[in-house]
A and B are shown apart, each in its own frame.
Chain A
């Protein structure tokens, strides 16, 4: 495989100019042009070259896939690399899980950490490891506070219990009639009765399953099935009213005959203050705070771990690539002048987030065509910069730069009106008057040598009806927002109430509605280029 040919091809790393906003002057149309001459610029140049994705060497492709799976933590449990800074936490989770699954103790534990701090990942990882040897010893019930409401959670528990028990018993081929019947009965009227009644049914189901397996296994009475609850966003269940679900589950930890283990994941540091007194007293008070990366060195090392999969776990085909790659990464991370290290430092100073770094590295790896190519782009880190550049192209600054001259003029006029007024309120009428004055005084400064040429150098003053379109455009970009607007509502019920309410602003005429600016004149002055003819108008 000729690597140079591939680099020359259409999809290469180098042609990343097209996500840089072109600021160069607009090519004016040569109108004076007889129609006979060739259409040399009518067509957009279309790259016709074939994609090279099918030509990627299979060994490299396997390596790339392995690397991507490593990045996404989707490798097999043994191959998954746990970051060094997480090992203590991992050990603790593993201990709790083993105590409850193997030794059949009941536990409850809440894990607290920001988003993307590997809470679910660690639990899943441990469960995958444990399911190798103790597959029949436990059932996992997963609930998510975003998706499950309190009532839905009860149904969700019942449904998940049923399917998993069926699986367990199906593998042991002991589907006895009475158990099935009981399950059916429970499932059909699971929604009837109070929550505690439903819980009783669930508990009875668990008990019967446990005894059933006991009879089959003919072992000692300890081998009950552990029920493991994993709650994501447990704070949504710890709402201000009742907390029945949590109360009953934590109560099961204390009193039930079945070993129950509850994992709660949350982002709230003060999760204990959410819990009611009776719920808190049943909770084991064990809270694990997810560790954070302490300094830049640790962060860099963790990024290196993120980028380098564990060795000696691949087929021989990829071994060469893998060791080369890992060496490259460790070298780059050690070298404080390397581009990669710069990117790491940048991330550490701003986001300090491994997930963000992962997102920026995926396009780099995904578009690597061969190993040399991938190595080069890793050395230059151009694509990581490109990713960050792309992320910013929707921001306020780049949106202001994408405005046409009339839109910019109206925006500046609105900012001027907002600065002049006491309560920073603007409306269309006032803005249009300001715009008119602006254009008039710009035009007055234009030297008029002769009367004939005046019109040609003047700036067009757009009519009020036309500027209305621009006004709505600015509204669409949320440079201006309606006074007292709330925007997106927190929950579905709030959105429902809002949709039934007729807002004052929608009943009054278009040009009298009150608006607020989202950019001030001072900020506009920093964004508008000095060469713009409206630059002088960016201050009062």
Chain B
């Protein structure tokens, strides 16, 4: 049976209004993705830590044309208005630059993205290690080209590891789109516009635990299982890339 998404389904990126009118062609077996990738092939991933000097930790990530930079500040003193807390506190903020989308617009905060980033990260951070203090995560999307939130989450976990925040595991995130009966992993903006449904998984690969699962649109049970397995495999590969990035920077600093 078809399963509906959550109460407040969230779109992954602002959808340009003019593009909604032109429908992408109906899916065919011989259809090729706009950037030439296979259905189960992710975009090339590039990570770099230490991009922002003033921050305790920072990371820069590129997935194809999606470019994200994340800064982590803290642990630092909580604001005086906040209640006392025996465990640490995590604040997340996700914003887009005015030039991030094809239609130039106000660089606005996306409240639902902030909430989803917070949910994805708080399960992986050991909050008891910094009581009464706050860790602030600021994510800035420099260019939006589809699947922005998974890139933001992966980049944020890399920035937290760079800042020396204790974590249970690195957090990797991948999303998949559904077209009729076919699954397309790591969709770009053109594919997201015409999708029937989307699935995003955030997991801790070495512990094989999921910190967040977001489903929108209509999915059958077998398709959800297939999509989840596809995302988990991609997350495991992505985590290897992230670990090699952390080790490379650390060994460079040692030299």
To the question of whether A and B form a pair in one complex, the answer is no
